[in-house]
Amino acid sequence: MGIESDVFAVAGWNGLFSIFVTLGCVVVVWIVLQEVKWDKILRDPRGSRARMLQLLIAVGLGYLLARFVLDYWNWVGNLKWLFDNG
């Protein structure tokens, strides 16, 4: 049961790491989106609909950024198998 519980623990830590990376990327994108001149795009840039649009854009772009970061992390981790002689 030791190996099985270790596998579950690693999967749990990977999941937690992915959650934090994704939330962090969403926050970073939200901060970056605050610099956009929304008044040139939207009629009421301070309204609730505009804020909802900003939130949805932040979640979408943050998710894409997080996927890239997590995939890149995985690819770098897999490089060890290319150079491992055995």
Spans of all domains in the chain? 2-75
pLDDT, residue 63, reads: 98
User: 36 is written with which tokens?
Assistant: 């956009």
Rounded Cα–Cα distance for residues 41 and 9 (Å): 47
Q: What is the pTM for the complete model shown?
A: 0.84
Pick the closest to residue 6 from 83, 19, 14 (CA basis): 14
pLDDT tens by residue, the chain, 86 residues: 677 788 889 889 999 999 999 999 999 999 999 999 999 999 998 999 999 999 999 999 999 999 999 999 999 999 988 887 65
Pick the closest to residue 34 from 20, 46, 23, 24 (CA basis): 46
User: 35 is written with which tokens?
Assistant: 């610099």
Rounded Cα–Cα distance for residues 47 and 18 (Å): 32
